[in-house]
């Protein structure tokens, strides 16, 4: 049986980190960020209307 409604997950920032850890992400600003890496760029994620997200490093977000 399929439900019309998708189950929504609620996760914490810590759980998000666990999911992203080790991934190299190409940011929308053109830089790259490896989550969990000691010297990695700061990852800034903005969620806007319409189900879109944009990603930046700290330098480009300012």
Residue ranges in contact with Zn ion by CB under 5 A: 29, 31, 57, 60
Question: In terms of CB distance, is 43 or 57 closer to Zn ion?
Answer: 57
H/E segment holding residue 53 = strand 52-57
Taken in order 2, 18, 57, 62, the sign of the CA dihedral is positive
Q: What's the min distance (Å) between Cβ of 61 and Zn ion?
A: 8
Question: In terms of CB distance, is 2 or 55 closer to Zn ion?
Answer: 55
Q: What's the min distance (Å) between Cβ of 22 and Zn ion?
A: 20
Q: Strand, helix or coil at 59?
A: helix
């Amino acid at each position: 049986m399929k439900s019309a409604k998708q189950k929504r997950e609620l996760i914490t920032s810590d759980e998000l980190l666990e999911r992203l850890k080790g991934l190299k992400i190409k940011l929308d600003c053109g830089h790259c960020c490896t989550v969990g890496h000691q010297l990695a760029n700061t990852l800034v994620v903005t969620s806007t209307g319409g189900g879109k997200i944009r990603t930046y490093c700290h330098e480009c977000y300012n």
